[in-house]
Amino acid sequence: MRRFTLRALDTLSLDVVSDLHRAAFAPLGERAWTRQEIAELLASPGVGGRLLELDGKAIGFALHRHVADEAEVLTIAVDPDRRRQGAGRALLDSVIAQARISGARSLFLEVGADNPAARALYRQAGFETVGSRTGYYRRGAGPSVDALVMRLRLGE
């Protein structure tokens, strides 16, 4: 059984995190977030992140935001060679736990309508689709893809 280690994301991890984001999203035709963009997000009020390691090597990360009684998954990225091994679920569970600790009543996220693996992960965690954003994700030279807006109720 794999043993993941989660730790708080900090500025010392920005290079590896931007590399992970590129590896996870560039093959989909999405623009990868830069080191600077991630640093600016982390410096924003209410934003936090978790770095996931396996055997001392970073294999994924999550960024999330908490405002008032709502939280949002900004991104979850997993090294493509480490997918379907529980890394995404470990990161999602960590964000859910943090949202509960922060007092959020709902956790939102957006996911590409063309990403069945991620949508299945979110549904298994209890998220429901509550809306969509037409043509939200650009896929390189291909057509844009709708984003599904999903919500997990954390409490009333």
CA 51/CA 47 separation, integer angstroms? 14
Mind telling me the catalytic residues? 110, 122
Would the CA dihedral through 103, 107, 108, 111 be positive or negative? positive
CA 60/CA 131 separation, integer angstroms? 27
Tell me which amino acid residue 120 is. Answer: A
CA 154/CA 126 separation, integer angstroms? 10
Scan for tokens 């960024």, then name that residue: 63
Residue 36's contacts (CB-CB under 8 Å, 6 or more residues apart) are none
As a 3-state breakdown, the chain gives helix, strand, coil percent values, each rounded to 5, of 35, 40, 30
